[in-house]
């Protein structure tokens, strides 16, 4: 049985969320931190129908999730493309189109290998990858705190209201589609499984955004990717820089976050078309690459993506739950 | 030959045996009369003990009183005489030859279509010696040898419980190799044993000459960088594995046992860990984890940092490296690859050559080539130090040396082209490959992932024996 554990589910989803935060465009302020945190609380509340269902296992709903997972995977791939020019990837032509294509191609190839190894193997690897990433992020956070300038908190302004930040919070939570699908193959009680993920997400979001504000608050207006800039600016040592270490975390998280979408959509493809056994991961990845071209102009934290996340997390599970309870009642009457 | 039943006529029978064996010179046929009946004692030269066969078989058998027919004679031998402890019978030529070639003396009689065999094996084999590959300070200094039955006795001496089961079977169409499946019947689920037996049934090899012949049959079919079955040449280590609910396969002619399943963390555990104080064992274990990482990644990280990410170095170290590298004529990746390849060639030569010459090779390579390469400026000193450190670190975990060697080159190549980015991507692929390694439902990466808090007491640290005693661990805990 291709079942995963609670920690594996949380690790896979947290890596996706962390990567979405790395690719966050626009300014981050304390309002953003509050909006994203409130968004996570709201998401947890909206996840109640999903928790009751124990994951999506309905054929009709699978079509929506397949499209959603492919779109989100495409967005992540697109964001990797856009962010990579801000992270020094050492290849002679890495700044040019061919260099970028090669880098994205390499990431896609590794994603294909990872997703074809199966969700179980990917889940196990995600736990280790998340642990390594957490250590690297902790170093960045500690060095950020050691150079803390309290004025940065007041200097940083996002120019968005709390409601807008709340929607932004949903927009960078594209992992809700994978949550709905992967929850169905996770061992243990759904409430515990989902709670662990959301608690982890809360801590991760708060740590990353607060570090970004504390380190890059003063230069927020001139930064395209505040989290990347924060990682580059925060240095724990006086005589040497460590921003290349962020490259490791970025590469690992990019690969795993896209691989999670690929593996989850390959799983959905398998559920929809049971006879389609071979090349499911390859087809999923190709669709994700196609989606990346299609969604080229859409920024990661746009409202439309936020709506998609709400539909994946709440609307579809709620409808499925209603249909399920109606069906059960009908069965009882008969 | 399997279907061929033994011919009751002795003359015809001997003729058939000679024909089937191609008149092989090592098959000795001794015709004689026992109880007044024409018999023949067959044996394979050099496979049995002359003194045992003389004292325990020939002497009593030639003093049997007169018998009416061969059936009465064979009944007498079987019921009244205890000529040896192992007394199988053969009714076909396949069994007869297997017994004969295993060192049994086979008695044939005129007028009967079966043969009696007596276990009087006494072939020369190496005595029990200290294992060469699994060094140990505080534990036993006995290792497995090439004789499967001696190896079985070594295990039995250490585990005197009836729960220890040893199942002998034969595989290899031509070699007819004796193999032994060992397990604790109270610790290994019957379903797992069925699966392992079924995997072993798939073996249709002509010969089985080393553990590598059978390992692919008990491992998963997917490409695995690290082997999910282990090998050991130490009976004490094998006993500890059996107690933990693992299954072992002994092969006649091979001084190693195959252990199923194997976990990644086990490669870092030695018997000495349990002889020293826990704090020291924990320290040594972390040294080994560090050595594993250093062995694979150090040359690659060095190349990546010097070539692409010099900001990761502090100014003093940077200046030192710049100073030494500016004299070297080759690129860093070429230099490291060259040094690593040179080392692999020297190592291979050292292993294959006779021991006295092997020593000379080490001197020539280490002192003359190494010193000359640095003095001539072909290789920089820091690079040679880094490479030597990586190679030596690989020997801290000898079991994983083969995959570590290949991975060292792969990471170096990735680092040379893409720096830390390349290392990260390859690390992801390797990590997933390791995590996907699984046999019979036992994940190779347990207890790290899937995470088991209890399992960390003998991986991240080494807890005291009293706590371990309470833990009562079996590998079944990790089964998924």
Task: Please judge whether A251 and B428 are an interchain contact, meaning their C-beta atoms are less than 8 angstroms apart.
Answer: yes
CB A29 within 8 A of CB A158: yes
Closest Cα in chain B, distance from residue A120 (Å): 8
Which residue of chain B comes nearest to A247, CA vs CA? B421
Q: Does the CB of A282 have a partner CB in chain B at under 8 Å?
A: no
Quick one: average pLDDT of A258-285? 92
Chain B positions in Cβ-Cβ contact with residue A106 (cut-off 8 Å): 418, 425
pLDDT of residue B402: 92
Q: Do A122 and B432 touch (CB under 8 A)?
A: yes
| A149 pLDDT above the threshold of 80 | no
Single out the residue of B297, B430, B412, B420 nearest to residue A250, CA to CA: B420
Are the Cβ atoms of B423 and A106 closer than 8 angstroms?
no
Q: What is the pTM of this model?
A: 0.89
Name the residue among B425, B431, B480 with its Cβ closest to that of A107: B425
Residue B434: the pLDDT is 95
Q: What is the pLDDT of residue B436?
A: 94
Check residue B64 and give its pLDDT: 87
**The pLDDT of residue B1:** 54
Contact yes or no for B426/B411 (Cβ under 8 A): yes
Contact by Cβ (8 Å): B17, B23: no
Q: Indicate the residue of B315, B421, B435 with minimum beta-carbon distance to A251.
A: B421
**Over the stretch A249-265, which tens digit does the pLDDT of each residue have?**
999 999 999 999 999 99
- Residue A91 pLDDT level (bands cut at 50, 70, 90): low
- ipTM comes to 0.91
- Over its length of 480 residues, how does chain B's per-residue pLDDT go in tens digits? 557 899 999 999 999 999 999 989 999 998 989 888 999 999 998 888 888 888 888 888 888 888 888 899 988 888 888 778 888 999 999 899 989 988 899 999 999 999 999 988 888 888 888 888 888 888 888 999 999 989 999 999 999 999 999 999 999 988 989 999 999 999 998 888 999 999 999 999 999 999 999 999 999 888 999 999 999 999 999 999 999 999 999 999 999 999 999 999 999 998 888 889 999 999 999 999 999 999 999 999 999 998 888 888 888 888 888 888 887 888 889 999 998 998 888 888 888 888 777 777 777 777 777 778 778 888 888 888 999 999 999 999 989 999 999 999 999 999 998 899 999 999 999 999 999 999 898 999 989 888 888 888 888 888 888 888 877 788 888 888
A/B interface, count of CB pairs below 8 Å: 106
Among partner residues B314, B425, B445, which is closest to A110 by beta-carbon distance? B425
- pLDDT tens per residue across span B155-186: 999 999 999 999 999 999 889 899 999 999 99
Categorise residue B325: left if φ over 0, alpha if ψ from -120 to 50, beta otherwise: alpha
pLDDT value of residue A331: 63
Question: Phi, psi at residue B247, to the nearest 5°?
Answer: -115, 140
| Residue A333: band (very low, low, confident or very high) from pLDDT cuts 50, 70, 90 | low
Greater model confidence, B466 or A287: A287
Which range has the worst mean pLDDT, A45-54, A113-122, B124-133, B208-217?
B124-133
Question: What count of Cα atoms within 13 Å lies in the side-chain half-sphere of residue B441?
Answer: 15
User: What's the DSSP call for residue A219?
Assistant: G
Q: Which residues pair with B258 in a beta bridge?
A: B231, B249
Residue owning tokens 């279907």: B3
* Over residues A77-91, mean pLDDT: 79
Position A334 confidence tier, pLDDT thresholds 50, 70, 90: low
Is A239's CB within 8 Å of B450's CB? no
- pLDDT score recorded for residue A15: 95
Domain boundaries, chain A: 6-333
Q: What is the pLDDT of residue A297?
A: 78
Angle at the Cα of A157 from the Cα atoms of A152 and A162, rounded to 5 degrees: 125
């Amino acid at each position: 049985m291709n079942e995963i554990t609670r920690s594996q589910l949380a690790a896979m989803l947290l890596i996706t969320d962390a990567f979405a935060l790395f690719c966050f465009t626009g300014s981050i302020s304390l309002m953003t931190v509050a909006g994203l945190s409130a968004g996570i609380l709201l998401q947890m509340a909206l996840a109640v129908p999903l928790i009751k269902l124990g994951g999506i296992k309905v054929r009709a709903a699978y079509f929506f999730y397949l499209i959603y997972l492919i779109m989100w995977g495409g967005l992540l791939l697109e964001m990797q493309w856009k962010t990579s020019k801000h992270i020094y990837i050492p290849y002679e032509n890495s700044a040019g189109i061919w260099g970028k294509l090669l880098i994205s191609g390499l990431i896609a190839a590794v994603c294909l290998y990872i997703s074809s190894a199966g969700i179980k193997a990917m889940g196990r690897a995600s736990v280790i990858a998340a642990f390594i990433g957490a250590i690297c992020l902790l170093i960045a956070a500690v060095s950020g705190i050691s150079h803390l300038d309290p004025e940065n908190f007041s200097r940083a302004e996002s120019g968005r209201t709390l409601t807008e930040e709340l929607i932004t919070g949903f927009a960078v939570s594209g992992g809700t589609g994978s949550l709905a699908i992967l929850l169905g193959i996770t061992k243990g009680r759904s409430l515990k499984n989902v709670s662990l993920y959301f608690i982890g997400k809360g801590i991760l979001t708060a740590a990353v955004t607060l570090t970004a504000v504390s380190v890059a608050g003063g230069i927020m207006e001139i930064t395209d990717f505040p989290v990347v800039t924060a990682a580059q600016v925060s240095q724990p040592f006086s005589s040497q820089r460590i921003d290349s270490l962020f490259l490791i975390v970025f590469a690992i998280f990019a690969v795993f976050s896209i691989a999670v979408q690929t593996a989850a959509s390959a799983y959905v493809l398998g559920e929809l078309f049971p006879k389609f056994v071979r090349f499911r991961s390859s087809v999923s990845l190709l669709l994700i690459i196609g989606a990346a071209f299609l969604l080229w102009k859409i920024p990661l934290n746009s409202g439309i993506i936020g709506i998609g996340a709400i539909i994946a997390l709440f609307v579809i599970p709620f409808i499925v739950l209603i249909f399920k309870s109606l069906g059960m009642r009908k069965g009882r009457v008969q | 030959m399997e279907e061929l039943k033994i011919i009751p006529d002795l003359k015809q029978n001997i003729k058939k045996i000679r024909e089937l064996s191609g008149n092989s010179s090592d098959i000795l046929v001794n015709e004689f009369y026992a109880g007044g009946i024409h018999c023949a004692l067959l044996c394979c030269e050099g496979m049995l003990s002359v003194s045992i066969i003389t004292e325990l078989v020939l002497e009593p058998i030639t003093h049997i009183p007169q018998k009416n027919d061969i059936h009465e004679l064979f009944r007498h031998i079987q019921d009244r005489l205890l000529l040896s402890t192992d007394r199988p019978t053969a009714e076909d030529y396949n069994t007869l030859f297997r017994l004969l070639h295993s060192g049994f003396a086979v008695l044939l009689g005129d007028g009967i279509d079966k043969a009696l065999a007596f276990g009087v094996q006494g072939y020369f084999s190496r005595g029990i010696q200290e294992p060469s590959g699994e060094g140990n300070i505080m534990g036993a200094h006995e290792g497995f040898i090439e004789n499967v039955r001696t190896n079985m006795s070594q295990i039995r001496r250490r585990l005197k419980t009836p729960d220890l089961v040893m199942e002998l079977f034969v595989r290899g169409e031509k070699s007819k190799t004796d193999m032994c499946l060992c397990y604790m019947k109270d610790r290994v689920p019957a379903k797992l044993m069925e699966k392992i037996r079924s995997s072993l049934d798939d073996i249709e090899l002509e010969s089985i000459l080393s553990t590598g012949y059978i390992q692919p049959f008990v491992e998963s079919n997917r490409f695995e960088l690290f082997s999910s079955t282990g090998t050991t040449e130490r009976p004490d280590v094998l006993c500890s594995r059996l107690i933990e609910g693992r299954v072992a396969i002994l092969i006649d002619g091979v001084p190693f046992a195959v252990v199923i399943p194997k976990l990644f963390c086990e490669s870092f555990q030695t018997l000495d860990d349990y002889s020293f104080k826990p704090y020291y064992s924990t320290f040594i274990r972390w040294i080994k984890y560090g050595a594993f990482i250093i062995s694979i990644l150090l040359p690659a990280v060095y190349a990546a940092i010097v070539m692409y990410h010099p900001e990761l170095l502090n100014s003093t170290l940077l200046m030192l490296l710049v100073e030494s590298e500016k004299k070297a004529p080759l690129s860093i990746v070429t230099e490291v690859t060259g040094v690593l390849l040179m080392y692999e060639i020297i190592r291979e030569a050292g292993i294959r050559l006779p021991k006295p010459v092997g020593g000379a090779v080490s001197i020539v390579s280490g002192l003359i080539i190494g010193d000359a390469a640095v003095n001539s400026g072909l290789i920089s000193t820091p690079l040679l130090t880094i490479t030597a450190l990586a190679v030596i670190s690989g020997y801290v975990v000898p079991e994983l040396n083969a995959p570590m060697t290949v991975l060292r080159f792969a990471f170096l190549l990735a680092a040379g082209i893409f720096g830390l980015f390349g290392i990260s991507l390859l690390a992801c692929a390797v990590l997933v490959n390791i995590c996907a390694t699984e046999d019979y439902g036992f994940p190779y990466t347990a207890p790290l992932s899937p995470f088991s808090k209890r399992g960390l007491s003998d991986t991240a640290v080494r807890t005291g024996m009293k706590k371990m005693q309470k833990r009562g661990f079996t590998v079944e805990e990790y089964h998924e």
